[in-house]
Amino acid sequence: MQVTKTVAETRALVKSWRKEGKTVGLVPTMGYLHEGHASLIRKCREENDIVVVSVFVNPTQFGPNEDLEAYPRDFERDNALCKSLGADLIFHPEPEEMYQDPCAFVSIETLSENLCGKTRPIHFRGVCTVVSKLFHIVAPDKAYFGQKDAQQLAIIRKMVRDLNFDIEIVGCPIIREEDGLAKSSRNTYLNPQERQAALCLSRAVKRGQELIAPGMDSEAVLKEMRAVIEAEPLARIDYVSMVDALTMRDVEKVDRDVLVAMAVYIGKTRLIDNFSYEV
Protein backbone atom coordinates (compact mmCIF):
# COMPACT_ATOMS: atom_id res chain seq x y z
CA MET A 1 0.00 0.00 0.00
CA GLN A 2 1.25 3.46 -0.89
CA VAL A 3 0.62 6.82 0.75
CA THR A 4 0.61 10.06 -1.26
CA LYS A 5 0.53 13.59 0.05
CA THR A 6 0.29 15.56 -3.20
CA VAL A 7 -2.23 15.88 -6.01
CA ALA A 8 0.49 15.39 -8.63
CA GLU A 9 1.80 12.06 -7.29
CA THR A 10 -1.75 10.78 -6.76
CA ARG A 11 -2.71 11.62 -10.34
CA ALA A 12 0.46 9.99 -11.69
CA LEU A 13 -0.22 6.76 -9.79
CA VAL A 14 -3.86 6.58 -10.85
CA LYS A 15 -2.82 7.27 -14.45
CA SER A 16 -0.39 4.34 -14.36
CA TRP A 17 -3.12 2.02 -13.04
CA ARG A 18 -5.52 3.26 -15.69
CA LYS A 19 -2.91 2.52 -18.38
CA GLU A 20 -2.93 -1.09 -17.15
CA GLY A 21 -6.71 -1.13 -17.66
CA LYS A 22 -7.50 -1.27 -13.94
CA THR A 23 -10.73 0.00 -12.40
CA VAL A 24 -10.45 2.42 -9.50
CA GLY A 25 -12.72 2.84 -6.45
CA LEU A 26 -12.53 5.74 -4.00
CA VAL A 27 -13.55 5.85 -0.35
CA PRO A 28 -13.45 9.49 0.81
CA THR A 29 -12.97 9.83 4.59
CA MET A 30 -11.86 12.29 7.23
CA GLY A 31 -9.86 9.55 8.96
CA TYR A 32 -10.16 8.17 12.49
CA LEU A 33 -11.55 5.16 10.70
CA HIS A 34 -14.04 2.83 12.34
CA GLU A 35 -16.06 -0.21 11.33
CA GLY A 36 -18.38 1.99 9.22
CA HIS A 37 -15.45 3.10 7.06
CA ALA A 38 -14.12 -0.46 7.02
CA SER A 39 -17.40 -1.64 5.49
CA LEU A 40 -17.01 0.94 2.69
CA ILE A 41 -13.41 -0.10 2.07
CA ARG A 42 -14.38 -3.81 1.98
CA LYS A 43 -17.16 -3.10 -0.53
CA CYS A 44 -14.77 -1.01 -2.62
CA ARG A 45 -12.20 -3.86 -2.46
CA GLU A 46 -14.81 -6.33 -3.75
CA GLU A 47 -15.85 -4.16 -6.69
CA ASN A 48 -12.62 -2.58 -8.00
CA ASP A 49 -9.07 -3.52 -9.04
CA ILE A 50 -7.64 -0.54 -7.15
CA VAL A 51 -8.85 0.84 -3.82
CA VAL A 52 -8.01 4.45 -2.96
CA VAL A 53 -8.89 5.82 0.49
CA SER A 54 -8.61 9.56 1.07
CA VAL A 55 -7.89 10.68 4.63
CA PHE A 56 -8.39 14.43 4.92
CA VAL A 57 -10.09 16.46 7.64
CA ASN A 58 -11.66 18.98 5.30
CA PRO A 59 -11.61 22.49 6.83
CA THR A 60 -14.19 23.95 4.43
CA GLN A 61 -17.00 21.78 5.77
CA PHE A 62 -16.61 22.99 9.37
CA GLY A 63 -18.37 26.16 10.56
CA PRO A 64 -16.50 28.76 12.66
CA ASN A 65 -17.66 27.32 16.01
CA GLU A 66 -17.44 23.66 15.07
CA ASP A 67 -14.94 20.96 15.98
CA LEU A 68 -12.29 21.24 13.22
CA GLU A 69 -9.39 21.47 15.71
CA ALA A 70 -10.80 18.83 18.05
CA TYR A 71 -11.76 16.38 15.30
CA PRO A 72 -10.02 13.09 16.19
CA ARG A 73 -6.98 12.13 14.12
CA ASP A 74 -4.80 9.00 14.20
CA PHE A 75 -3.09 8.42 10.89
CA GLU A 76 -0.94 5.50 12.13
CA ARG A 77 -4.08 3.57 13.05
CA ASP A 78 -5.87 4.55 9.80
CA ASN A 79 -2.82 3.43 7.83
CA ALA A 80 -2.76 0.03 9.56
CA LEU A 81 -6.50 -0.51 9.04
CA CYS A 82 -6.39 0.42 5.33
CA LYS A 83 -3.42 -1.91 4.86
CA SER A 84 -5.21 -4.78 6.59
CA LEU A 85 -8.25 -4.26 4.36
CA GLY A 86 -6.18 -4.43 1.19
CA ALA A 87 -6.30 -0.77 0.12
CA ASP A 88 -3.76 0.19 -2.56
CA LEU A 89 -3.37 3.87 -1.81
CA ILE A 90 -4.11 6.39 0.91
CA PHE A 91 -4.27 9.97 -0.32
CA HIS A 92 -3.43 12.03 2.77
CA PRO A 93 -2.87 15.65 1.79
CA GLU A 94 -2.18 18.63 4.06
CA PRO A 95 -4.82 21.40 3.96
CA GLU A 96 -2.37 23.64 2.03
CA GLU A 97 -2.11 21.04 -0.72
CA MET A 98 -5.89 21.04 -1.17
CA TYR A 99 -6.66 24.72 -0.68
CA GLN A 100 -4.62 27.76 -1.65
CA ASP A 101 -6.83 30.72 -0.79
CA PRO A 102 -9.78 29.20 -2.68
CA CYS A 103 -12.37 31.27 -4.54
CA ALA A 104 -14.13 28.41 -6.35
CA PHE A 105 -16.60 26.25 -4.46
CA VAL A 106 -19.24 23.72 -5.40
CA SER A 107 -22.58 24.24 -3.76
CA ILE A 108 -25.88 22.55 -4.21
CA GLU A 109 -29.18 24.32 -3.69
CA THR A 110 -32.43 23.19 -2.01
CA LEU A 111 -31.19 19.74 -0.90
CA SER A 112 -28.65 21.36 1.40
CA GLU A 113 -31.07 23.82 3.02
CA ASN A 114 -33.06 21.49 5.26
CA LEU A 115 -31.99 19.07 8.06
CA CYS A 116 -28.27 19.49 8.87
CA GLY A 117 -28.04 22.42 6.43
CA LYS A 118 -30.22 24.52 8.74
CA THR A 119 -27.72 24.55 11.60
CA ARG A 120 -24.60 23.97 9.47
CA PRO A 121 -25.11 26.48 6.63
CA ILE A 122 -21.70 26.07 4.93
CA HIS A 123 -21.26 22.36 5.62
CA PHE A 124 -22.52 20.88 2.37
CA ARG A 125 -20.74 23.48 0.25
CA GLY A 126 -17.52 22.27 1.87
CA VAL A 127 -18.44 18.62 1.35
CA CYS A 128 -19.38 19.12 -2.32
CA THR A 129 -16.22 21.13 -2.92
CA VAL A 130 -13.84 18.60 -1.42
CA VAL A 131 -15.65 15.60 -2.94
CA SER A 132 -15.54 17.27 -6.39
CA LYS A 133 -11.83 17.91 -5.93
CA LEU A 134 -11.23 14.29 -4.90
CA PHE A 135 -13.26 13.11 -7.90
CA HIS A 136 -11.08 15.27 -10.21
CA ILE A 137 -7.84 14.11 -8.57
CA VAL A 138 -8.59 10.38 -8.35
CA ALA A 139 -11.09 10.09 -11.25
CA PRO A 140 -12.59 6.90 -9.79
CA ASP A 141 -15.10 4.63 -11.51
CA LYS A 142 -17.01 4.27 -8.25
CA ALA A 143 -17.09 6.16 -4.94
CA TYR A 144 -18.42 4.84 -1.63
CA PHE A 145 -20.39 6.75 1.02
CA GLY A 146 -22.26 5.67 4.14
CA GLN A 147 -26.02 5.91 4.56
CA LYS A 148 -25.46 7.31 8.05
CA ASP A 149 -24.79 10.68 6.39
CA ALA A 150 -27.98 10.26 4.37
CA GLN A 151 -28.36 13.92 3.41
CA GLN A 152 -24.72 14.01 2.29
CA LEU A 153 -25.29 10.89 0.19
CA ALA A 154 -28.42 12.37 -1.46
CA ILE A 155 -26.56 15.61 -2.15
CA ILE A 156 -23.55 13.85 -3.67
CA ARG A 157 -25.80 11.71 -5.89
CA LYS A 158 -27.55 14.88 -7.12
CA MET A 159 -24.26 16.72 -7.63
CA VAL A 160 -22.92 13.83 -9.69
CA ARG A 161 -26.06 13.86 -11.85
CA ASP A 162 -26.26 17.63 -12.22
CA LEU A 163 -22.56 18.12 -12.98
CA ASN A 164 -22.16 14.97 -15.11
CA PHE A 165 -19.41 13.30 -13.13
CA ASP A 166 -18.84 9.92 -14.79
CA ILE A 167 -18.74 8.16 -11.41
CA GLU A 168 -21.08 5.61 -9.84
CA ILE A 169 -22.01 6.52 -6.28
CA VAL A 170 -22.41 3.49 -4.03
CA GLY A 171 -24.35 3.97 -0.78
CA CYS A 172 -23.58 1.53 2.05
CA PRO A 173 -25.71 0.66 5.11
CA ILE A 174 -25.26 2.20 8.55
CA ILE A 175 -22.96 0.15 10.78
CA ARG A 176 -23.98 0.10 14.44
CA GLU A 177 -22.38 -0.85 17.75
CA GLU A 178 -23.88 -3.95 19.35
CA ASP A 179 -26.18 -1.81 21.47
CA GLY A 180 -27.46 0.11 18.42
CA LEU A 181 -25.43 3.34 18.44
CA ALA A 182 -24.47 4.26 14.86
CA LYS A 183 -20.68 4.18 14.44
CA SER A 184 -19.18 7.65 14.17
CA SER A 185 -15.76 9.19 14.72
CA ARG A 186 -17.54 11.72 16.97
CA ASN A 187 -18.64 8.96 19.38
CA THR A 188 -15.15 9.31 20.91
CA TYR A 189 -16.23 12.70 22.33
CA LEU A 190 -18.80 10.99 24.60
CA ASN A 191 -18.05 10.28 28.27
CA PRO A 192 -19.48 7.01 29.66
CA GLN A 193 -22.69 8.67 30.85
CA GLU A 194 -23.19 10.40 27.49
CA ARG A 195 -22.37 7.19 25.62
CA GLN A 196 -25.30 5.56 27.43
CA ALA A 197 -27.56 8.56 26.77
CA ALA A 198 -26.67 8.47 23.05
CA LEU A 199 -28.66 5.25 22.73
CA CYS A 200 -31.80 7.39 22.60
CA LEU A 201 -31.06 8.04 18.91
CA SER A 202 -31.15 4.39 17.84
CA ARG A 203 -34.12 3.80 20.17
CA ALA A 204 -35.97 6.62 18.37
CA VAL A 205 -35.05 5.09 15.00
CA LYS A 206 -36.43 1.76 16.15
CA ARG A 207 -39.64 3.39 17.39
CA GLY A 208 -40.06 5.19 14.05
CA GLN A 209 -39.49 1.98 12.10
CA GLU A 210 -42.13 0.20 14.21
CA LEU A 211 -44.72 2.93 13.63
CA ILE A 212 -44.27 4.07 10.05
CA ALA A 213 -46.77 2.90 7.45
CA PRO A 214 -47.92 4.15 4.04
CA GLY A 215 -50.35 7.08 4.18
CA MET A 216 -49.60 8.07 7.81
CA ASP A 217 -49.16 11.67 8.87
CA SER A 218 -45.45 12.26 9.32
CA GLU A 219 -46.07 14.06 12.65
CA ALA A 220 -47.67 10.93 14.11
CA VAL A 221 -44.33 9.14 13.66
CA LEU A 222 -42.07 12.08 14.51
CA LYS A 223 -43.94 12.94 17.73
CA GLU A 224 -43.32 9.45 19.11
CA MET A 225 -39.67 9.53 18.05
CA ARG A 226 -39.16 12.93 19.71
CA ALA A 227 -40.74 11.59 22.91
CA VAL A 228 -38.13 8.81 23.04
CA ILE A 229 -35.33 11.37 22.81
CA GLU A 230 -36.93 13.86 25.18
CA ALA A 231 -37.09 11.15 27.86
CA GLU A 232 -33.28 11.28 27.97
CA PRO A 233 -32.13 14.20 30.17
CA LEU A 234 -28.72 14.60 28.48
CA ALA A 235 -30.26 14.84 24.98
CA ARG A 236 -31.28 18.02 23.15
CA ILE A 237 -32.99 17.73 19.78
CA ASP A 238 -31.63 19.73 16.84
CA TYR A 239 -34.17 18.18 14.46
CA VAL A 240 -36.23 15.03 13.95
CA SER A 241 -37.72 15.25 10.45
CA MET A 242 -39.30 13.27 7.67
CA VAL A 243 -38.30 14.34 4.17
CA ASP A 244 -38.70 13.25 0.57
CA ALA A 245 -35.83 10.83 -0.07
CA LEU A 246 -34.71 12.69 -3.20
CA THR A 247 -35.44 16.37 -2.57
CA MET A 248 -34.83 16.47 1.21
CA ARG A 249 -37.98 18.60 1.56
CA ASP A 250 -40.31 18.00 4.54
CA VAL A 251 -43.29 15.76 3.84
CA GLU A 252 -46.59 15.80 5.67
CA LYS A 253 -47.57 12.25 4.81
CA VAL A 254 -45.81 8.97 4.14
CA ASP A 255 -46.91 9.02 0.50
CA ARG A 256 -43.52 8.46 -1.21
CA ASP A 257 -40.04 7.15 -0.38
CA VAL A 258 -38.88 9.07 2.65
CA LEU A 259 -35.87 9.65 4.84
CA VAL A 260 -36.52 9.98 8.57
CA ALA A 261 -33.50 11.76 9.98
CA MET A 262 -32.40 13.32 13.24
CA ALA A 263 -29.60 15.32 14.79
CA VAL A 264 -29.38 15.32 18.57
CA TYR A 265 -26.93 16.93 20.96
CA ILE A 266 -25.72 14.63 23.71
CA GLY A 267 -23.98 17.12 25.97
CA LYS A 268 -21.88 19.11 23.48
CA THR A 269 -21.65 16.32 20.91
CA ARG A 270 -23.98 16.48 17.93
CA LEU A 271 -24.91 13.02 16.65
CA ILE A 272 -27.02 12.00 13.65
CA ASP A 273 -29.01 8.90 12.78
CA ASN A 274 -31.72 7.99 10.29
CA PHE A 275 -33.71 5.37 8.48
CA SER A 276 -35.18 5.18 4.99
CA TYR A 277 -38.67 3.97 4.20
CA GLU A 278 -39.94 2.99 0.77
CA VAL A 279 -43.72 3.01 0.16
- Active site positions, annotated: 37
Binding of residue 241 to ligand PAF (CB under 6 A) = no
Size, binding site for ligand PAF by CB under 6 A:
10
Query: Which is nearer to ligand PAF, 73 or 207 (by Cβ)?
Result: 73
Q: Are 218 and 251 in contact (CB under 8 A)?
A: yes
- Show the CA angle centred on residue 90, arms to residues 84 and 91, nearest 5°: 170
Question: Taking CB under 6 A as the criterion, which residues in 142-181 touch ligand PAF?
Answer: 149, 152
Binding segment for ligand PAF among 2-10, 90-98, 127-135, 196-204 (CB under 6 A)? 127-135
Closest distance between ligand PAF and the C-beta of residue 147, in Å? 11
Nearer Cβ to ligand PAF (29/269): 29
Pick one of 130, 181, 198, 264: the residue that binds ligand PAF (CB under 6 A).
130
User: Which C-beta is closer to ligand PAF: that of 105 or that of 231?
Assistant: 105
Taking residues 36 to 75 in sequence order and writing x for each that binds ligand PAF by CB under 6 A, - otherwise, the string is: ----------------------x--x--------------
Of these, 13, 26, 85, 127, which contacts ligand PAF (CB under 6 A)? 127
Q: Which stretch binds ligand PAF (CB under 6 A): 67-75, 124-132, 217-225, 234-242?
A: 124-132
Give strand pairing partners of 266: 235, 269
The reply to whether 30 sits near ligand PAF by the rule CB under 6 A is: yes
Q: What are phi and psi of 113, to 5 degrees?
A: -90, -25
Task: Judge residue 193's burial from the number of C-beta atoms within 10 Å of its C-beta, 0-12 exposed, 13-18 middle, 19 or more buried.
Answer: exposed
Q: What totals of helices (H) and strands (E) does the chain contain, helices first?
A: 10, 9
> Which member of 29, 48, 129, 241 binds ligand PAF (CB under 6 A)?
29
- The separation between CA 171 and the C-alpha centre of its own chain, rounded to angstroms, equals 10
Task: Tell me if 202 sits within 8 A of 225, measured CB to CB.
Answer: no
Distance CA 14, CA 52 (A): 9
Nearer to ligand PAF, 127 or 264 (CB): 127
Q: Which residues contact 47 (CB under 8 A, 6 or more apart)?
A: 25, 142, 170
* Minimum CB distance to ligand PAF, residue 86 (Å): 20
Quick check: helix, strand or coil at residue 1?
coil
At residue 163's C-alpha, the angle toward residues 161 and 169, to 5°, is 45
Query: Is residue 140 close enough to count as binding ligand PAF by CB under 6 A?
Result: no
> Which CB sits closer to ligand PAF, 130 or 261?
130
Query: What is the DSSP track for 190-256?
Result: --HHHHHHTHHHHHHHHHHHHH--TT-BHHHHHHHHHHHHHTSTTEEEEEEEEEETTT--B-SBS-S
Q: Which residues bind ligand PAF (CB under 6 A)?
A: 28-30, 58, 61, 127, 130-131, 149, 152
